[in-house]
Chain A
Amino acid sequence: EVQLVESGGGLVQPGGSLRLSCVASGFSFSTSWMSWVRQAPGKGPESLGNIKGDGSEIYYLDSLKGRFTISRDNAKNSVYLQMDSLRGEDTAIYYCARDDRYGGGWYHAYWGQGTLVTVSS
């Protein structure tokens, strides 16, 4: 069974940093594209970026470049989201997702339960 478990969320002050983790199990992690997706209260999801199985390719939402960094450790079956210079608008539930190939492209096929990040003073 595919399982994705996020952790590391919490309350952080504006300008602060947070590192989210996602531990995967039940599938071949090292060959899977993984994504981070967030969802602000009452809003639709927003894909933040993704990372190839071997870590050789990483893509980011343009508006996040320089503040957020995605990485992975295949030995630990884990993917990470380092978030710096946090702002109020970063308040959201953050999900990791496994991207599966459908019809020649990729969709977020499996999601974790999410971890809440609140940016507030």
Chain B
Amino acid sequence: EIVLTQSPATLSLSPGERATLSCRASQSPSGYLGWYQQKPGQAPRLLIWDASNRATGVPARFSGSGSGTDFTLTISSLEPEDFAVYYCQQRWNWPLTFGGGTNVEMK
């Protein structure tokens, strides 16, 4: 099972700032890593697939990068609606696993 470790657990930023979220895998998911956004009381929403591809309708301020075991989600300039919890997920092998999440909160 691939274990995903996300850091930091909490990121306190202001609107307009840049957010950089990290996801480290216990073994390489071969680039097959996604990112989800979850707001309170809502289901997760797919943002990024296969490390760097934005899902339909996702704003360009969201970008993903990385390879091997280290991946990054970057939000270039935080909008008020971006404050949420973000999870990475690998789909390289079964079971599909998620990280523990990074809470992006407003400073």
Contacts and interface: CB of A to CB of B under 8 A. Distances in A.
Interface residues of B, number: 23
Contacts, number: 52
B50 A102 contact: yes
Interface residues of A, number: 21
Interface of B: 32, 34, 36, 42-46, 49-50, 53, 55, 87, 89, 91, 94-101
A44 interface: yes
B46 A108 contact: yes
B91 to A, nearest CB: 5
A49 B82 CA distance: 29
Interface stretch (A20-28, A70-78, A83-91, A110-118): A110-118
Interface string A89-121: 000000101000011011111011110000000
